[in-house]
Amino acid sequence: MKLDPAVVKLLSLDPSNTTVSSTGGGGCSSASTSKITSKLSDGTEKCFFMKTGSGSDAEVMFEGEHASLNALHNAVPTLCPQSFGWGHFSSTPSTSFLVTDFLTLTSRSAAKSSTPSLAAKLAKLHSTPAPIPDGYDKPQFGFPVTTCCGDTPQDNSYKSSWADFYANNRLRFIHRRAEASNGSDRELHNLVETTASKIVPRLIGDGHLNNGRGVTPVVVHGDLWSGNASRGIIGTKGGDVEEVVYDSSACYAHNEFELGIMKMFGGFGGSFLKEYHQLCPKTEPAEEYEDRVKLYELYHHLNHYALFGGGYKSSAVSIMRNLIKKYGGDS
- What residues act catalytically? 223
Pairing of strands 218-220, 152-153: unpaired
- Classify residue 83 by burial, with Cβ atoms within 10 Å: 0-12, 13-18, 19+: buried
Residues 6+ apart with CB under 8 A from 43: none
In whole angstroms, give the CA distance from residue 96 to residue 88: 4
**By C-alpha distance, which of 101, 105, 107 is closest to 85?**
101
- The three-point CA angle 242-65-117 to 5° equals 20
